[in-house]
Structure 1
């Protein structure tokens, strides 16, 4: 029996990812939690003729029940971006929300896989790590910042540009999960060559795709649908690892040795994952000069983002 808990299930991402996972054949129980409206979403989804049992939980008093026995916890909770806001602007609001939810996860399902969608991921994942440490349950092999949308965008935009079969395109994206910390490794796509202008244009498109959605929605939403799709893709990988005992490959923002030499504790790269969590951090391979420059620019930004998350938890204890 596999239980997936979604924290923030009544929001734009939460409702959509709940719908997708209700259909997943490997999900037995779907626990939907939010401050308000989660039981309504759960009732709606429970009418769908798939095997997953759906339950809804409202407010902090019901959070423990939502999490008890969960194998995977997905956290899209928080405030979405609005026009002019960066992911960093969200920190003041979302940091406290994520800290509270991480505390509940540590208390109720400390061995679960945690999938953090709440932005800014570069900072919220370190927040979760520090909270889990406080409760003595931190397992760096089971805490993931969901960066799958960066990969999804890269696969889509590159396939459109080069006329590739998008279903067979799988591009590695490294770094972080905001703006110029997102580094698509276009030089490592087999059999595909780009002009210099294409590389710059595609990279910009991938890095700032979220801004394009916010602008296109005229301040009335952010990338909720594509993020839900991407998040569900990542959860699908974990379900294949946990239930079918497969070793899967996915990019994610995790505590990693990949950029440790540059003083970076958390970094997104390709990983191999099995039922126990991360089993291999796939080496980056040779970067092009353009990608190396992006990496060099990314490092100081990631340092600031990571320290912000770590310091938030430290200051909260004082």
Structure 2
């Protein structure tokens, strides 16, 4: 039996993500939670003829407690979306508080659950979650993940003309670092099958992977950000975690984790100078079993990208930790 919960289920990412999870044969029970509209979303999805038994909750009547109790996997897309002209950093103050409060609920009601954070800025919200869980005495680095799969999905899609894959997802491209702008580093030199990207196309391709979200924000013209592609990416990662939880082996996914608590993590932490980093992670029944260091032997171009990445990441991580240790005055 696998119970999954979506916190922020009524939003632009939450609704399509909940739809995908409802249709997933690996999910036995699905709990939806949000501050508005959850009963309606739940009623709509409940008519779908699939395995998952669905329930929906609002904050009243201990809704968060009911949604989280007995949950194995919690996915958090809650928060406000990015609008034109906003950076991920602009989202920080609002989304940081939302994530903090939801993770307090997880610490109390489902401390053993795998926690998958989509809420931006991921580079800061994952450290926030870690600090909340530490304060509650229930932090397990193997069970906390920042979802960076959209960067991988974009990389697979944008290099299709060079990978020659009819199905772009058959190309394996490690995307490491963080989940915003220059902290996103696609390691095209490590792609399988190998890619032959023309030198005059390389910079634009990297930039498109790093700032692909801006394309969507601009195209939606004030009506939202990347919600459907993010829901797909969030589901793809959640499905991998659920498969591992159910005993499937050999599952490796890029994700943003706390390195010191996972086998192999110290090596990457030493190389990068940061404790949170997205890299290839082997998933098992207990969460993150080990991380793979894919940084050895990268190209000179990639080394420069990694330098900019770690510089940006350090500030993002510190900002998240500081938000919990020195809460903003109301």
Q: Classify the TM-score, shorter chain.
A: over 0.9
1:70 aligns with 2:71: yes
Contact 2:70 2:110 in 1 (8 A): yes
Paired residues for 1:150-161 under 5 Å: 150-161=151-162
Q: How far off its partner does 1:133 sit?
A: 0.3
What residue in structure 1 maps to residue 256 of structure 2?
Answer: 253
Unmatched 5+ stretches in structure 2: 260-264
Paired residues for 1:1-318 under 5 Å: 1-59=1-59, 61-165=62-166, 166-189=168-191, 190-256=193-259, 257=265, 258-284=268-294, 285-316=296-327
Q: Which stretches of structure 1, 4 residues or longer, exceed 6 Å deviation after superposition? A: none
Q: How far off its partner does 1:196 sit?
A: 1.7
Give TM-score scaled by structure 1 length: 0.97
Contact 1:176 1:267 in 2 (8 A): yes
* Cα deviation 1:244-289 (Å, max 9, x = unaligned): 3423100000111313344201000111010101111111131111
* Cα deviation 1:177-196 (Å, max 9, x = unaligned): 00010000111123321122
Q: How far off its partner does 1:167 sit?
A: 3.5
Contact 1:186 1:199 in 2 (8 A): no
Q: How far off its partner does 1:21 sit?
A: 0.7
Contact 1:183 1:291 in 2 (8 A): yes
* Cα deviation 1:18-45 (Å, max 9, x = unaligned): 0001111110000000001111101100
Distance 1:231 1:237 in 2: 10
Distance 1:147 1:259 in 2: 18
Distance 1:247 1:163 in 2: 25
Supply the RMSD in Å over aligned alpha carbons: 1.3
Q: How far off its partner does 1:162 sit?
A: 4.4
Distance 1:57 1:161 in 2: 46
Distance 1:249 1:113 in 2: 16
Distance 1:249 1:125 in 2: 20
